[in-house]
Structure 1
Amino acid sequence: MSTTLTPSDILYDKTYECPVCYNKFTSKAIRTGKNQALSSDIDLYARYAVINPILYDAILCPNCGYCSLSKNFSTLLPTQIKWIKEQVTPKYKKRNFDTYTSINDAIIKHQLALVSSIIKKGKIGEQAYICLHIAWLYRDLNALNQEKIYLNKAVNGLKQALETENFPLFNLDALTTSYIISAISYTLGDYTNAKTYLSDVLYNSNGKLKDRALNLKEMILEHS
């Protein structure tokens, strides 16, 4: 008999130490291998069997207000710590979030992560990646106008990052990023950009990414 997993089966309390104020706190994290991906949208937004990992990917220090994606929460330079202390902490109003993060709470945390990234002068790619997450979260709320705003921010940032920054960007290599730019451009009705960024993917990719690119090519051709 198969057992149906619940969020409490998949989440655990992970301990963090804030690199800004050295406060130790816990935040929910996903147990490795417990949460099965079922499908993904055209722009690679993955759909999971039990819980959306993005809900728990922005880590907020409840003491000082520093917030970042989990992948680089602890990586701050001394000057960045100074900027966070000067520009984030004085304006931070402590708030309580539920144990199991809602979509709206996740959006707030990602917006706080975006603010921290801007204040610390983080890479454009990092900020674009956060905006992409926010767009996807708004998609789950069917908030189409807000989703479109953040998709535009994400695609513009990802294009700039491809030109000026080193890859991979977190878990995205350059070809996958080009595919996402093409897919978002298609979604936004920018078929010229969609074709431009897809061409490199079609020529250089293989496997599942190549299959996705071929499918996207057919969709673009139908609308252009």
Structure 2
Amino acid sequence: MSKETFSNRTSGDLREKDKQKLLLYNRNVTCPVCGNSFNARAIKKSSYRILKRDSDFFIRYSIINPYFYDVWVCDDCGYAAIKNDFLHISDYDADTVKNKITPKWHSKNYPDIYDIDLAIQRYKLSLLNYYVIDARASKKAINFLKIAWMYRLKEDNKNEIKFLNQALKNFNAAYYNESLPICGMDRFTTMYLIGELMRRTGKEEDSLTWFSQVVTSTTASSKIKNMARDQKNLVKDSLENKPHAENQYQQDEDTSRKNKTHGFLSKFLK
């Protein structure tokens, strides 16, 4: 890389960071665990620019990514949670954080601008807190899902699937054991999401059951029914093509084996 190219890229990164700084502000927050007052980085709502929505509700943004700032962390005691949950912690759970998180916590020096790796780190810290206080499955589920989304942005398919599987496990537990709504979703939206997570993690036949229940419901919204119908058709097409793909693979293997045998024998028939 030439010095000029490196310089242009560096200046471009700096301009991008300066642009992002203008979209951020500090929100003063009081930690419900230790009483410490700190500044949480937040994005001005007018700054959101949506590019695309994925079928599992992941939203892709341009300019600045709100998901990067979705976790609040108290730098004094180590308490962390997704911002919608942060202030809602019982005294008992606060004491648990003080006893199990705080003694092992080391103060962090977070930058003004967060990137995807820092976002993953903060989501995992939030998840640790949820497990320590034995939070509801739904809270763990949305945390796992957002970590999976971050790995999707990194195009790290292995870790994405790993965390999607954990999100599915916890959404499934929440569906059967918690009161609705779950993470702001009604029954049929939750059912659709469970089906979609099954589809994305290779459990296609199981996903059909969930999609079908949404599609045949008389009370689900037309929007979520249409989404479920689209994904159901996608799964059906995938399952119909699988035998063909497997047969083609076998045919290719057989052809390859025959060619190798012919090539081996031809050496002695010349």
1:191 to 192, 204, 207: 204
SS at structure 2 position matched to 1:116: helix
Q: Does 1:216 align with 2:231?
A: yes
Between 70-79 and 46-55, the greater mean CA deviation after superposition: 46-55
1:71/1:170 contact within 8 Å kept: no
Q: Does 1:102 align with 2:115?
A: yes
Displacement of 1:51 after TM fit? Answer: 2.1
Q: Does 1:132 align with 2:145?
A: yes
Q: Which AA in structure 2 matches 1:217?
A: K
Displacement of 1:208 after TM fit? Answer: 3.0
**Whose helix proportion is higher, 1 or 2?**
2
Q: Deviations over 1:54-107 (max 9, x none)?
A: 111111101110000000101111110110000000111211122111111111
- Aligned equivalents of 2:130, 2:149: Cα separation in 1: 19
Aligned-pair identity (%): 28
- 2:192 corresponds in structure 1 to 179
1:19 to 14, 32, 37: 32
Cα 1:49–1:207, aligned 2, differ >3 Å: closer, same or farther? farther
Cα 1:33–1:155, aligned 2, differ >3 Å: closer, same or farther? same
1:121 to 123, 134, 144: 134
Q: Which AA in structure 1 matches 2:94?
A: I
- 1:47 corresponds in structure 2 to 60
Q: Which consecutive residues of structure 1, in runs of 5 or more, have no partner in the other structure?
A: none
1:15/1:25 contact within 8 Å kept: yes
Q: Does 1:88 align with 2:101?
A: yes
Displacement of 1:162 after TM fit? Answer: 0.3
- Aligned equivalents of 1:31, 1:209: Cα separation in 2: 29
- Aligned equivalents of 2:225, 2:51: Cα separation in 1: 19
Displacement of 1:49 after TM fit? Answer: 3.0
- Aligned equivalents of 1:41, 1:80: Cα separation in 2: 35
Between 200-209 and 181-190, the greater mean CA deviation after superposition: 200-209
Q: Which AA in structure 1 matches 2:174?
A: A
- Aligned equivalents of 1:201, 1:31: Cα separation in 2: 36
TM-score relative to the length of structure 2: 0.77
- Aligned equivalents of 1:67, 1:81: Cα separation in 2: 11
1:182/1:197 contact within 8 Å kept: yes
Q: Which consecutive residues of structure 2, in runs of 5 or more, have no partner in the other structure?
A: 1-15, 240-270
User: Quick check: which has more Rg, 1 or 2?
Assistant: 2
Greater RCO (Cα-Cα under 8 Å, separation 6 or more):
1
- Aligned equivalents of 1:200, 1:14: Cα separation in 2: 43
Q: Which AA in structure 2 matches 1:117?
A: Y
2:72/2:80 contact within 8 Å kept: yes
TM-score relative to the length of structure 1: 0.93
- 1:8 corresponds in structure 2 to 21
Displacement of 1:7 after TM fit? Answer: 2.4
Displacement of 1:181 after TM fit? Answer: 1.3
- RMSD between aligned residues: 1.7
Runs of 4+ in 1 over 6 A off after TM superposition: none
